[in-house]
Copies of this chain bind each other. A is one copy, B any other.
Amino acid sequence: MDKILRINMSAAGGPQQSTEAAGEYAALGGRATTSMIVGKEVPPDCHPLSAENKLVIAPGMLSGTAAAISGRISVGCKSPLTGGIKESNAGGQAAQVLARLGYAAIVIEGQPAGDDLYKIHINKDRVEISVDNSNKLLDNYPLIAKLQKEYGDKVAYMSIGTAGERLMASASIACTDPELRPTRHCGRGGVGAVMGSKKVKVIILDDAGCSNRAPKDAERFKTANRAFVEGIRKHPVSGEGLPAYGTNVLTNVLNEAGGYPTRNFKSGQFEGATKISGESQAELEISRGGKATHGCHRGCVIQCSGIYNDKDGNYLTKQPEYETVWSHGGHCGISDLDTIATLDYWDDNVGVDTIEMGVAIGVAMDGGVIEFGDGKGAVSLLRDEVAKGTPLGRILGGGAGMVGKAFGVTRVPVVKNQALPAYDPRTVQGIGVTYATSTMGADHTAGYAVATNILKVGGDVDPLKPEGQVELSRNLQIATTAIDSTGLCLFIAFPILDQPETFQSLLDLLGGFYGIEMTGDDVVALGKNVLSVEREFNKAAGFGPADDRLPSFFQSEKLPPHNLTFGVTDEELDEVYNW
């Protein structure tokens, strides 16, 4: 990872590529790399879909090494959804392959004139950027099936569906899993629309002939990796709950806690929760010959995913995540797993963020477009409207905020115009602080206070009270920003928060690879540094304190069953970045 590939899509005579030394980005990765490059090179006031924006793709610091679970890839840009900086990361094979190819980042800049659609093929010998209009308006599954015939199954694909081509603000970038399914998405913030605005349909990454990246101190690295894996396997969340039931293990937990946002955040409990829980889902998957345990990339030691087959035992989609099951399920009053799985398939196929799309559909239900609980209607909205780019599809594809504006809905759960995920901030007050203040817009992964509020990982902060939430969220946001830079899956947070020796093995893993001494302070400094760059960008893009707030209905409407409002004050929220 000693070089950066730049592709100028504006160049006269067609896209031009150049390779430069990674320089200051050589010891960085993931979110640190994308946010530093975006912060330095993208004008904060530019239109996110214009030539001035850049799409930065970066594997993590440990991607492409033998380090366990190091397959996260980060994509950064100015977000068409939030108008602020964006880093969205995903699993799948892309990070490992790109890192083994030696790239610290791909920077796609400019914008071609005309309507041609490009593909980018990268292998160890060359980078080929070519027009391929035969890929136009293909969704992800048919696109990857078509490309496999040309490029085989030993490569990784990063692609956009029709949502990205149509520049929808909820459009994602799909990364293929080990079996070449386009199921792992850089979902949030519309990064797929930015790729679409560059007219890049797909990036084919082929690491044939490449080796794993070699650590500076092989022995230390190997020892640390063994301890790290052991730490992950012995923690109840990463070692038991996630492998057995996937992220959807949370449905019952959150529902019992009264923090499961139901029918557009009107209640904290859903009567249909058990039917769509991780436990029910795993049972169904196994009974149909699917899998309840599956890794999104080679080298994953948690295997929180799965394979969801239809009634006839044929592959329908990967195991829907908790956030998806919630956004298309409880949030919409839908309690049928097959309906949710069908929606998950269409999200992946069209290439949209499952959180944004599910929340958008729920807001549309609140606006009377269809009824809450109408599963067939929800599928039709996605398959017949979003996938076809109809005007209604474009409203939904524009995200929950746009749906609210189009239909005059006043209860719109967004921060910085990005939809809230699956935890009600009135019952899980710590995550409310993260939603409000994250540089990314409402994002549970930006500082997952649910861990400490509900799962009692990394301590115990009462989820129902405002006390201690700002400090909790701040510390988690700093730590997460660093983890998002390593390429390691965020689920390592459970063992490293609870087990000091596993945190030490993470430090040793990084230290052993780069041949440096790494302390907890270094991790914190990295996190703060990246967050500061992101916050500076957002400020220049026009964000101020009023943007670090939840929608006012979280203060005025009490959520059953606890009948609480969000209690963290504006003044306290403004303290999150005072460190």
> Which residues of A pack against B, CB within 8 Å?
43-47, 49-50, 52, 80, 166-169, 193, 196-197, 390-392, 394-395, 398, 402, 405-408, 410-412, 540-542, 544-547, 549, 551-553
Contacts and interface: CB of A to CB of B under 8 A. Distances in A.
28 contacts: A44-B546, A45-B552, A46-B552, A47-B412, A47-B551, A47-B552, A49-B410, A50-B552, A52-B552, A166-B408, A167-B407, A168-B408, A197-B408, A197-B410, A391-B391, A391-B394, A391-B406, A394-B395, A394-B406, A395-B395, A395-B406, A398-B405, A402-B402, A402-B405, A540-B546, A541-B546, A542-B544, A542-B545
A392 to B, nearest CB: 4
A546 B169 CA distance: 21
A542 B552 contact: no
Contacts of A391: 390-392, 394-395, 406
Contacts of A398: 405-406
Task: Identify the interface centre among A166, A398, A412, A545: most chain B CB within 10 Å of its CB.
Answer: A398
A433 to B, nearest CB: 17
Contacts of A50: 410, 552
Given A167-B408, A405-B169, A408-B166, A45 B395 contact: no
A461 B47 CA distance: 31
Contact of A549 (B45, B167, B390): B45
A43 B552 contact: yes
Q: Give 8 closest A-B pairs by Cβ, nearest first.
A: A167-B408, A542-B546, A391-B392, A391-B391, A47-B410, A394-B406, A50-B410, A544-B544
A13 to B, nearest CB: 22
A458 to B, nearest CB: 32
Given A391-B390, A392-B391, A45 B546 contact: yes
Contacts of A546: 44-45, 540-542
A52 B552 CA distance: 10
A49 B367 CA distance: 13
A353 to B, nearest CB: 16
Nearest to A165: B408
Contacts of A406: 391, 394-395, 398, 402
Contacts of A47: 410-412, 551-553
